[in-house]
Chains A and B, each alone.
Chain A
Amino acid sequence: MICVDLATTTKRDLNQSLHVLTAETNETHWQVLNPQGQHALVAGLDAPITIEIMGHAGYYCAGMNQQAAVTVHGNVGVGVAENMMSGRVHVKGDASQSAGATAHGGLLVIDGDASARCGISMKGVDIVVKGSIGPMSAFMAQAGNLVVLGDAGEALGDSIYETRIFVRGQVKSLGADCIEKEMRPEHHVTLRRLLDAAGVGEDVSVDSFRRYGSARQLYNFHVDNAAAY
């Protein structure tokens, strides 16, 4: 394991040494000490490596991730795993706003809560939040799955396109064009797969979730809907 202490190494040097790694690298396990809330930690990864960040991270942690598995042993700031393409990002604490924003693929797991705009404009990522999510989450979400074991804040899924949202707790309110939908067998299968991937045990039953998604009334502009935009 390669250990990088940010008390003595700059973040830029850390990120640079990760960016040069290729798919064939033998340097597959990294540990980052003293992150101290710095921004853009381990952003732009593109190699099948494992990274553990030992503390709280700042904004855009693991942004644009491809292939890598990143675990943050602490909280993260705004925009964790923003625009992730593949791989896995696991936050052991809470996430601030816009977690998983615009992400195309991979799995984002947040053990604690995520605040406002979780999964905003998500484009294919799977997000599992074991706590609750804040207001305006999954705003304009386009593809992927958002799973929430706790509650969801106001205006969930406002202007949503095709993302499936599964919430176990209370939903404070649904946004424009977001409706509750039937849980069909294929949704149970998808949900179980995501819960398993996030390390959520069988004691959390897929039957305890409700599904929300797009009513598909705002896909194209109709003048009659002008007030809903």
Chain B
Amino acid sequence: MCGIVGLFLKDRSLEPQLGAMLARMLEVMSDRGPDSAGFAVYGDGAADHIKLTVRGADLAGVVAAMGLGATGVLRDSHLVISLPIAQESAARAWLALNRPDIVVIGAGQRIELYKEVGLPADVATRFGLSGMSGSHGIGHTRMATESAVTTDGAHPFSTGADQCLVHNGSLSNHRSLRRMLEPKGIEFVTDNDSEVAAGYLTWRMREGASLAGALEAGLDDLDGFFTFVVGTENGFAVLRDPIACKPAVMAETDRYVAFGSEYRALVGLPGIAHARVFEPEPARVYAWERH
């Protein structure tokens, strides 16, 4: 099973409520994924700064010890380190040398990414999701069937700057895709098939494809069951496999686009009674961009 939610705001006045809306959606999907949960939020960012989301224990003194002009916001087991773009590689090198126990799970101008084992509502509360603001966000509730319940296995996965992906389903050719992508410089942190899908899209976009174009290509190259929701710095997209194995429902108003594995996840959204509610078609890319 697994549950997916996503929210892309068109109306900027809703931005302060993004986290609260996403938290409610995520909690409703607990039935579909009570093991672990995760979410990515696209919040504020400065053009000359990058945010690294890192996960680990004993994070309190990391920023001070690192130097490099970094500042940090600590949320439970995650720390978002903000620093000048020019210092990114120095910061990554510092972490690898001094704190190899810390994992960098996301990086980008605006993305922040959190995931943990536990009930989705508890995970959302631990990280204070309902207080977060942003332009869009995606979330995932996991019911592990093929591998252990670990934080590493929780979604979203981020394999490129400001990119993230959540996946309901399973891929059957992820080993061969991984062998194809690794020599091209796409790095993977886990053995998870969904991370390979994220890496595939990162590679396609690095080669010049748009988000929609990368997903379109994925229809030919990804073998298996999938409903994906993907975020980029200014984009939001949905794709289902050609036989639509995994459920999906979407709602669109002039204020937002919302995705849920089930309609129940969307019932708390403002104006949902008058939203256009539809089921995304199999093998069709749905993409929105903010300019």
Could you tell me which A residues sit within 8 Å of B by CB distance? 36-38, 55-56, 58-59, 74-75, 77-78, 93-94, 96-97, 115-116, 134-136
For this complex, 10 residue pairs linking A to B, each with C-beta atoms less than 8 Å apart, are: A37-B263, A58-B263, A58-B264, A59-B262, A75-B263, A77-B263, A94-B279, A96-B249, A97-B244, A115-B244
B267 contacts A37, C-beta separation under 8 Å: yes
Q: Which residues of the partner chain B approach A77 to less than 8 Å between Cβ atoms?
A: 247, 249, 262-263
Q: Would you give the shortest CB distance from A72 to chain B, in whole angstroms? A: 12
Q: Which of B243, B247, B267 contacts A96 (CB 8 A)?
A: B247
A115 contacts B279, C-beta separation under 8 Å: yes
Q: Which of A36, A74, A78, A94 contacts B278 (CB 8 A)?
A: A94
A38 contacts B277, C-beta separation under 8 Å: no
Q: Which residues of the partner chain B approach A75 to less than 8 Å between Cβ atoms?
A: 263, 277
Q: Which of B266, B278, B282 contacts A134 (CB 8 A)?
A: B282
Name, among A37, A74, A93, A94, the residue most crowded by chain B CB atoms within 10 Å (CB to CB): A37
Considering the complex, give the chain A residue whose CB is closest to the CB of B266: A37
B264 contacts A37, C-beta separation under 8 Å: yes
Bound together, the chains give a CA A170 to CA B58 distance in angstroms of: 62
Chain B residues 230-278 with CB under 8 Å of chain A are 242-244, 247, 249, 262-264, 266-267, 273, 277-278
Counting from the closest, the 10 A-B pairs by CB-CB distance are A37-B263, A37-B264, A36-B267, A115-B279, A116-B244, A56-B263, A96-B279, A75-B277, A37-B267, A58-B264
Q: Which residues of the partner chain B approach A55 to less than 8 Å between Cβ atoms?
A: 273
Bound together, the chains give a CA A78 to CA B247 distance in angstroms of: 8
Q: Is B88 an interface residue (CB 8 A)?
A: no
B243 contacts A136, C-beta separation under 8 Å: yes
Q: Would you give the shortest CB distance from A106 to chain B, in whole angstroms? A: 24
| B: contact size bracket | 10 to 19
Q: Which of A58, A134, A135 contacts B262 (CB 8 A)?
A: A58
Q: Which residues of the partner chain A approach B262 to less than 8 Å between Cβ atoms?
A: 37, 58-59, 77
Bound together, the chains give a CA A95 to CA B75 distance in angstroms of: 41
Q: Is B15 an interface residue (CB 8 A)?
A: no
Q: Is B76 an interface residue (CB 8 A)?
A: no
Q: Which residues of the partner chain A approach B243 to less than 8 Å between Cβ atoms?
A: 116, 135-136
Q: Which residues of the partner chain A approach B267 to less than 8 Å between Cβ atoms?
A: 36-37
Q: Would you give the shortest CB distance from A29 to chain B, in whole angstroms? A: 23
Q: Is B281 an interface residue (CB 8 A)?
A: yes
Q: Which residues of the partner chain A approach B244 to less than 8 Å between Cβ atoms?
A: 97, 115-116, 134-135
Bound together, the chains give a CA A56 to CA B262 distance in angstroms of: 11
Q: Which residues of the partner chain B approach A58 to less than 8 Å between Cβ atoms?
A: 262-264
Bound together, the chains give a CA A96 to CA B247 distance in angstroms of: 9
Q: Which residues of the partner chain B approach A134 to less than 8 Å between Cβ atoms?
A: 244, 281-282
Bound together, the chains give a CA A134 to CA B283 distance in angstroms of: 12
Bound together, the chains give a CA A46 to CA B273 distance in angstroms of: 30
Bound together, the chains give a CA A140 to CA B244 distance in angstroms of: 18
Chain B residues 161-199 with CB under 8 Å of chain A are none
Q: Which residues of the partner chain B approach A78 to less than 8 Å between Cβ atoms?
A: 247
Q: Would you give the shortest CB distance from A23 to chain B, in whole angstroms? A: 33
A36 contacts B264, C-beta separation under 8 Å: yes
Name, among B242, B263, B266, the residue most crowded by chain A CB atoms within 10 Å (CB to CB): B263
Q: Would you give the shortest CB distance from B132 to chain A, in whole angstroms? A: 25
Q: Which residues of the partner chain A approach B278 to less than 8 Å between Cβ atoms?
A: 94
Q: Would you give the shortest CB distance from A12 to chain B, in whole angstroms? A: 15
A-B contacts besides A77-B263, A78-B247, A96-B249, 6 pairs, CB < 8 Å: A55-B273, A59-B262, A116-B243, A134-B244, A135-B242, A135-B243
Q: Which residues of the partner chain B approach A135 to less than 8 Å between Cβ atoms?
A: 242-244, 282
Bound together, the chains give a CA A115 to CA B248 distance in angstroms of: 11
Bound together, the chains give a CA A37 to CA B243 distance in angstroms of: 23
Q: Would you give the shortest CB distance from A220 to chain B, in whole angstroms? A: 27
Q: Which of A37, A38, A96, A116 contacts B282 (CB 8 A)?
A: A116
Considering the complex, give the chain A residue whose CB is closest to the CB of B278: A94
Considering the complex, give the chain A residue whose CB is closest to the CB of B264: A37
Bound together, the chains give a CA A136 to CA B243 distance in angstroms of: 8
Considering the complex, give the chain A residue whose CB is closest to the CB of B244: A116
Q: Which residues of the partner chain A approach B242 to less than 8 Å between Cβ atoms?
A: 135
